Amino acid sequence: MATADADRDATPAEARALAHPLRLRILRLCIDDARTNREIAQRLDRDPGTTLYHVRRLVELGFLAPEPMRRAASGHLEQPYRITGKSWRLRVTTSSTWSTAVIDAVRDEVAEAGPKAAIGTHRLGVRLTAADIRELRARLDALATEFAGRDDPAGTPVGLLLLAHRRRD
């Protein structure tokens, strides 16, 4: 989410909003298609009241935008929402809350996608110098920026999590 070329640091309210795995999942669901609260709740197997609470918070902070009302198959009007892209332009201060929310959201997305979800997984435990860590961060940021620029509406939907973390000895 947070990229090296982000416009600004997230406010405390924005950072709190993005530090919830369900909100991150809602944002991901609304990238390609505008979805109603009912559709979001069904897709996430959650109570519509719970998802509506999170949708409203995301709208309030400008992460989701309502689109024109539409008629459901049942005939009643529904409010669809689409991601604004605001979360892509923010730097979220590195914290365990933000990082674990991202990990939890990705874990749920991978589980939902099924046994062939992983395209590649690498997990290492290494010791790096301060210069190596700076280089690793720069290369991960560059990789994320490069592939974000390749977004093709006709392509296969792919999620990418690049995470380097400190570990306890």
Q: Is residue 95's pLDDT more than 80?
A: no
Q: How confident is the model at residue 28 (pLDDT cuts 50, 70, 90)?
A: very high
Residue 130: inside a domain, yes or no? no
Say which CATH number the domain at 27 has.
Answer: 1.10.10.10
Residue 71: inside a domain, yes or no? yes
Average the pLDDT over 137-153 and give the result. 89
Name the pTM for this structure. 0.82
Cβ neighbours, 10 Å, residue 127: 7
Task: Give the chain's domain count.
Answer: 1
**Residues whose CB falls within 8 Å of the CB of residue 40, separated by 6 or more in sequence, listed in order:** 26, 29, 30, 46, 51, 55, 81
Mean pLDDT of the chain: 88
* Residues 99, 163: Cα–Cα separation, whole Å: 8
Token match 């920026």: residue?
Answer: 145
Residue 97: inside a domain, yes or no? yes
Q: Is residue 23's pLDDT more than 60?
A: yes
Classify residue 38 by burial, with Cβ atoms within 10 Å: 0-12, 13-18, 19+.
middle
What are the tens digits of pLDDT across the range 47-76? 999 999 999 999 999 999 999 999 988 889
Residue 12: inside a domain, yes or no? yes
Owning domain of residue 37: 8-118
Structure tokens at 79: 């409010």
To 10 degrees, what angle do helices 21-29 and 37-44 make? 120
Give, as one character, the DSSP assignment of residue 7: S
Q: Which helix (H) or strand (E) holds 91?
A: strand 90-91
* Residues 18, 150: Cα–Cα separation, whole Å: 24
Cβ neighbours, 10 Å, residue 89: 15
Residue 154: inside a domain, yes or no? no
Residue 129: inside a domain, yes or no? no
**Pairing mode of beta strands 80-83, 64-66:** antiparallel
Residue 60: inside a domain, yes or no? yes
* Residues 73, 76: Cα–Cα separation, whole Å: 8
Average the pLDDT over 113-122 and give the result. 86
Residue 28: inside a domain, yes or no? yes
